[in-house]
Amino acid sequence: MKVLHIPFCFFPDPVGGTEVYVEALVFHQQKKGLGVAIAAPGHKKEFYAHKNLSVYRFPVSGQVHDLSELYGKGIAGGAEAFDEILEKEKPDVLHVHAFTPGLSSGILERAQARRIPVVFTYHTPTVSCQRGTLLRWGQEVCDGRLDVQICSGCTLQGLGVPGPLSALLGRVPSSWGRKIGSLGLSGGPWTALRMPHLLEQRFEAFHRFMNQVDRIIVPCDWARAVLARNNVDAEKISVSRQGLTADRPPTAALRHWVFGGRQRRSGVGGDDRDKRILKIVYLGRLEPSKGVDILIRAVTRSTDLDVRLDIYGIAQGKMNSYGRRLKQLAGSDARIVFQAPVSNEHIHSLLQAYDLLAVPSQGLETGPLVVLEAFAAGVPVLGSDLGGIAELVQSEVNGLLVEAGSVEAWRKALVRISLHRDLLPTWAKGIPAPRDMSDVAQEMDLVYNGLLCPR
């Protein structure tokens, strides 16, 4: 069997958890004897090897002629190059890991023309939520139901339009947006007036995409519920939770706890003076939905808090305004240190130098994978009470769940843990053995075979 995986981007580009997941899944599938390759959008047509894995890049135009390309029909370009990849690889199954303007129905149509079954994995809320967080008005958890009026207002508010005005603009008739678009008007107020029509196109594209794929994989229960609320065929949906992306040593042999703090292994985490400091680590992308600003504010509000927060942030592309804002928030606080990103293979040993992993996400996550990495290292998790984090972390058992958007709640949680260090070894004992990607690969094998050899 040969499987062609299609993520949003791929190494050596700056990548996120989805691409780390894809890389690990592919390597485990190779071990099982499957033929695998990667095809991802890029700036130009190219082919290269990544760790003995064949990687194709097909060009997607950087030019957007009309907003409807971003919201509905997708960005032109790359179809011929993608056809060439299909012709050369002749995959039995196409496994798609993103739904974006560059990876839309046009790609699936090429596979359908060749009668290649398609599997799609719902990795992030951006698949169905234009705002990308599934937080209505940026605050309350949304049920994910697609509604042109509500979603238009919420999207505009996320783009900076004041709440009352965004709600009003969300009620603009779609026909107005269609007319404005036909006149070639866009930008500023024109885009705001077009939003209901643009989201109407976006929702049509979403349903068309979901109807085209043969099987849908979701890594958590909340994602399955969102799809069900939007009338996606339940027969297509399977839950396959994420797994560790690399082999890890047994947790119990790696950690030694003492009352009042963690006794670190020799050579890791500094000298005895570090035992008085609560060492916290953040690993992930630097973008607003990750909530790093909430964490930084919580630390800076408690000037007498004996902690160290190390931020290993990934900025996809150039350092963005959010990343600069984080450094401004941290100011001269020596307890907050911005570190260079680390490669996936070094995450496990890095985590062992810390007492706690912080996951302050402000949107619904399908993982994140870093929670499993922390559990594999025996490190408790302080996380937002949302989405996949809340499905993985049992509050007061293997970590603590905190109200996502509340700086004060995060501050109180940090103070509590700092004053009661005995919580850490107690939570560490409650950490379950995380599953790994070999389990995911086995489940994907069953899915692929079910499509190729249906009962």
**What pLDDT shows up at residue 157?**
95
Judge whether 362 lies within some domain.
Answer: yes
Residue 43 has a pLDDT of: 86
Are 226 and 292 found together in one domain? no
User: Does 324 lie in the same domain as 443?
Assistant: no
How many domains are there within the chain?
2
Same domain, 214 and 333: no
Q: What is the CATH number of the domain that holds 414?
A: 3.40.50.2000
Provide the H-helix boundaries in 171-248: 174-182, 189-212, 221-229
- Torsion over CA of 134, 138, 141 and 146, rounded to 10 degrees? -40
Question: Does residue 321 share a domain with residue 354?
Answer: yes
Q: What is the pLDDT of residue 163?
A: 87
- In order, the DSSP letters of 368-405 are -HHHHHHHHTT--EEEESSHHHHHH--BTTTEEEE-TT
- Please list the pLDDT of the chain residue by residue as tens digits (455 residues): 999 999 999 999 988 889 989 999 999 999 999 999 999 998 889 999 999 999 999 988 666 777 888 887 677 667 788 989 999 999 999 999 999 887 877 788 889 999 999 999 999 999 999 998 898 998 888 999 999 999 999 999 999 999 899 999 999 999 999 999 999 888 899 999 999 999 999 999 999 999 999 999 999 999 999 999 999 999 999 999 999 887 666 554 445 454 334 444 433 444 444 457 999 999 998 988 899 999 999 999 999 999 999 999 987 654 578 888 999 999 999 999 999 988 888 899 999 999 999 999 998 989 888 999 999 999 999 999 999 999 999 999 999 999 998 999 999 999 999 999 999 999 999 999 889 899 999 999 999 999 998 65
pLDDT score, position 275: 57
Q: For 399-429, what is each residue's pLDDT tens digit?
A: 999 999 899 999 999 999 999 999 999 999 9
Same domain, 259 and 216: no
Q: Left (φ > 0), alpha (ψ -120 to 50) or beta: where does 116 sit?
A: beta
Three-class DSSP category at 138: coil
Amino acid at 408: E
Indicate whether 441 and 420 sit together in one domain.
no
Per-residue tokens: 76: 């032109």
Place of tokens 């993520």: 7
Burial of 183 (0-12, 13-18, 19+ CB in 10 A): exposed
> Is 226 within the bounds of a domain?
yes
Do 385 and 295 share a structural domain?
yes
Residues 324-339: tens digit of each pLDDT: 899 999 999 999 999 9
Residue 151 belongs to a domain: no
User: Is 224 in the same domain as 121?
Assistant: yes
Considering the domain architecture, whether residues 410 and 444 belong to the same structural domain is answered as no
Domain match, 217 and 336 both: no
Residue located via tokens 């996120």 = 16
Q: How far is CA 30 from CA 15, 52, 376, 442, in A?
A: 21, 10, 23, 12
What's the whole-model pTM score? 0.85
114 and 237 share one domain:
yes
Residue 166 lies in a domain: no
179 occurs within a structural domain: no
Residue 338 and residue 218 share a domain? no
| 82 neighbors 59 (Cβ within 8 angstroms) | no
Report CA-CA distances (Å) from 68 to 74, 167, 225: 8, 21, 28
At 207, phi and psi to the nearest 5? -65, -35
CB 18 within 8 A of CB 8: yes
Structural domain of 66: 2-130+200-243+437-452
